[in-house]
Amino acid sequence: MKRYEWMVNYTPQTVWIEDKGIFIWIALYAGIFGGGSYLIALFFHNLLGMFISWLAVLVFKGGFTILHSHYPLKLWRVIYRPLTSWISKGFIITMLFVIFGAIQLGLSFWMPGAGVEVIFEVLAGIAALGLIIYTGFTHSYVTSIPFWRSPLLPTLYVLLSLSTGFVINISVVNAMSVDITLMSTIGAVLLIISLILLFVYLFIAIRIGMAAKQSVKELVQSDTSIVLATVGLLFGILIPLTMLMMIIFVNGIGYLSFAITAAYAITIGGLAFTYLVLKVGRYNTLI
């Protein structure tokens, strides 16, 4: 963008996608990945899945948040405005998830079935749900970027998170203890709903205003975005959906290779989708 076009044309959002802003992208996706996977693992009592999700949030979300901040030792100040700031809410939710999740994992490993384990399962589950939800609201709170300002965006993130959760857990769950076909069916349904909702979201975005329309145009017309959109759609939805359909087709027999392929694909697709949402955000013009 040329200097004289700044805020006269639809100016792109750059601070959360360029330079150190790239860490925000990974931290946001880690929350979606970890929250959804943890919630589904909790539901199916899959300890390995819970541990992987918890570790992903701790290492990737926590690590990249620290890397992004110029003053990581001052990050504790982020708790000061939970009533108005989604960053503050998200930080508190993440901390609660890490703490409750750690306690719950320990209790599930050493004291399975104890009453206190159930309490921490509920607390960790609520924190995981908060982790999924807050990412979308961090975006939709930004009224200055019309493409983000939609109630469908948090919904899309929730669906993405839950479908990621199902796919990841299928690849790590003990096949003797759960119905793989059922998990695959639910995962596939969630992916189909995500695909439909994605097109609805884009359809509505075109009609919100010129800035949002420009974002959609950027999504389908610019070279980078076309590649990423293809990667996002292909890896995020189509490949995992195909793999889940194969698992359902073979009735769960020899499912592991399909599940692992789907897990890798949905992770790449989720990263691509999160990146695209950040990249194509456009501000309204001022004059």
Partner 1 sequence: MTRWGMVIDLKKCESCYACEVACKQEHFLPPNIFWNRLLVVEREEQSVPKKLVYPILCNHCKEAPCIKACPTGASKRREDGIVVVESDKCIGCQYCVVVCPYQQRSYHADNKKEYFPGQGLTELEVIGQKIYPHRPGTTIKCNFCVERIDKGIQQGLKPGIDRQATPACVITCPAKARYFGDLDDPLDNVSVLIKNRNGYQLRPEFGTDPSVYYIE
User: What is the contact surface with partner 1 in residues (CB under 8 A)?
Assistant: 4, 6-8, 11, 13, 15-16, 19-21, 24, 68-71, 74-75, 77-81, 84-88, 91, 138, 141-145, 283-284, 286-287
- Answer yes or no: are the C-beta atoms of 108 and 56 closer than 8 Å: no
Nearer to partner 1, 34 or 146 (CB): 146
Q: Give least dist CB 55 to partner 1, A.
A: 24
Nearer to partner 1, 108 or 150 (CB): 150
Q: Where are the alpha helices (DSSP H) in the chain?
A: 21-43, 47-56, 63-68, 86-110, 115-140, 152-172, 180-208, 210-221, 223-233, 239-249, 256-279
Nearer to partner 1, 12 or 101 (CB): 12
Q: Give least dist CB 69 to partner 1, A.
A: 5
φ, ψ of residue 111 in degrees (nearest 5): -135, 60
Rounded to a whole number of angstroms, the CA Rg of the chain reads 19
Residue 15 DSSP class: T
Q: Give least dist CB 74 to partner 1, A.
A: 5
Q: Give least dist CB 102 to partner 1, A.
A: 24
Nearer to partner 1, 66 or 118 (CB): 66
Q: Give least dist CB 56 to partner 1, A.
A: 21
Q: Give least dist CB 177 to partner 1, A.
A: 41
Nearer to partner 1, 52 or 145 (CB): 145
Q: Which residues contact 96 (CB under 8 A, 6 or more apart)?
A: 123, 127, 130
Nearer to partner 1, 45 or 213 (CB): 213
Nearer to partner 1, 93 or 162 (CB): 93
Q: Which of 161, 62, 54, 63 is nearest to 108 (CA)?
A: 54
Amino acid found at 163: S
Q: Give least dist CB 192 to partner 1, A.
A: 32
Q: How far apart are CA 221 and CA 207, in angstroms?
A: 18
CA distances from 202 to 17, 80, 135, 194, 270 (A): 21, 35, 19, 12, 17
CA distances from 239 to 91, 188, 218, 262 (A): 33, 11, 24, 6
